[in-house]
Amino acid sequence: MRSRRTLVFTAVALASVLLFAACERTNIGKILDNPDRYYDKTVNIGGTVEDSYGVPLLGGAYKLDDGTGEIWVISRRGSAPRRGARVGAKGRVFSGVNFGGRSFGTVIEESDRRTK
């Protein structure tokens, strides 16, 4: 009985570690300091929306600030969240992106978003 509990506890602990590791957030400042390291890689970021633009039929873009830096997030699936919203975003890092007639430096193309 005791070894079964130990086995279950170990399995739950391992699953928790893997879950939290997969959801680990990257500081925006680290991405901006070394964009080549993160280029074309998927990252998780979070912060407050500082600026937001919607483009009809194309999606939107919003600037996210986590206290270490600010980065533009491009959303092709839906509208951009409102200013002041707390957002967690997952997406791929790109450089030199043009969207809606504007040119952006290092950006994240959103694949998933969670609003708090």
| pLDDT value, residue 59 | 86
Identity of the residue numbered 3: S
CB 114 within 8 A of CB 88: yes
The distance between the two most distant Cα atoms of the chain, rounded to a whole number of Å, is 65
- pLDDT tens-place string over residues 51-96: 999 877 778 999 999 999 999 999 988 789 999 999 999 999 998 7
Question: Domains plus CATH for the chain?
Answer: 25-115 (2.40.50.140)
Cα(17)–Cα(66) distance, rounded to whole angstroms? 24
* Reported pTM: 0.74
